Amino acid sequence: MIDSGQMALTELAEYCQLAEELSSHIVYRLLLGYSFLACFIATPAQIYFFVKICLKFHCQGNIKFLLNVYFFVSLLFSLISACAFGWRNIVTQFATDCNLLINKFFFTAYHLPSLFLMTLQMLIPVGFSIERYVALKNAGSYEHRKTRLGPVLTAILAAVDSLVMLFLFCDEPFHGPFISLILVPPASAAHFNIYCVILLLIQIGNLVVNVILLKKQKIQPSVHNLSYRYEMEEFKDATNFILFISFWHIVFAGSYVIGGSLARLVGPMVFDKMVHYTAARAMFCAMPTYNVFIVFAAMWKLNKIDQRKKGRMEKDIELNTIGNAGIENYNKVSKMLVNFE
């Protein structure tokens, strides 16, 4: 009779062999290298974008706060992923057999924070929708409100995500062995996939809500007050930007969720060898690609928005250049132009 110790050794040997085969799998190696390269490029680009652009957004404080949190979370995800994938690429170059297995401390130190950051970034758009609704409902006075709603929404969403993640992984022993940084352990994998599907559906719902809010903004009663018109234009521009990043997040997150789910459900029927099935599940390039893509796409989108802003002002705003009214209008428009720079 085979005792438990022999069974454990046999299982460990199988994992060592699988790790060796996986490290030699050409597609897995290429995508592992690509994921590192994408995160490595994304990290400095996101640092520049966050410091030079995000922190200087000219919009209402609450939506600015939420956007800053969104891109900061993306930055943190890219940073820790670049370090983790860089280390993993080095290991696969020089280690063999059981040395390719990932120890429990390193796996949990990367795996749990990265999953939390990834899911939080998918949840933050809920805050976008709530803030945009409040902004539209309070048009005319919202621009000068204190930045409270943004931090409160961020705290609530982070708490919700933390509680869900705690629930998902509370029964996970993390015994290992671990052969990939991104493969969710068996006890939690199915529930985590369901959570990702729910988050994806929430994101799609948020996209629809923002489209509806944008249409409602267009049918707002015409008001000739300059500050009200300015606030409505700011609402439209900020909502358009949110729609842009939300759409692309859905595209990339959707490909990650759908691809991972298909690999998990259909993989055993498609792949005849365990290594091919594992490689299909361990392919993780959608989110690193999104993080490097969204930086340059967001800069392009913001530049287009700024160009439209200046064009609107040159076309639509007529200055009364006589007397005190002329001075007041000139000062208002000059201030707006400075904010667009």
Mean pLDDT per 10-residue interval, the chain, length 341 residues: 51 80 83 89 95 88 94 95 90 82 87 93 94 86 83 96 93 82 83 92 93 81 64 85 93 86 72 70 76 93 85 58 53 54 47
Stated as kind and residue range, the H or E segment containing 282 is helix 274-282
Nearest Cα to Cα of residue 182 among 126, 242, 241, 264: 264
pLDDT of residue 144: 76
CB 286 within 8 A of CB 250: no
pLDDT of residue 333: 56
pLDDT of residue 139: 76
pLDDT of residue 340: 45
Please report, for the chain, the start and end positions of each structural domain, with discontinuous segments joined by +. 16-295
Q: Under DSSP, is residue 178 helix (H, G, I), strand (E, B) or coil?
A: strand
Q: Under DSSP, is residue 148 helix (H, G, I), strand (E, B) or coil?
A: coil
Distance CA 104, CA 102 (A): 7
In sequence order, the 6+-apart residues with CB closer than 8 A to the CB of 203 are 122, 125, 246, 249, 250, 253
pLDDT of residue 115: 93
Distances (CA, A) of 176 to 15, 182, 278: 9, 13, 15
Q: What CATH number has the domain spanning 16-295? A: 1.20.1070.10
The per-residue DSSP string of 14-42 comes to: HHHHHHHHHHT-HHHHHHHHHHHHHHHHH
This prediction's pTM: 0.85
Distance CA 123, CA 102 (A): 29
Q: Under DSSP, is residue 337 helix (H, G, I), strand (E, B) or coil?
A: helix
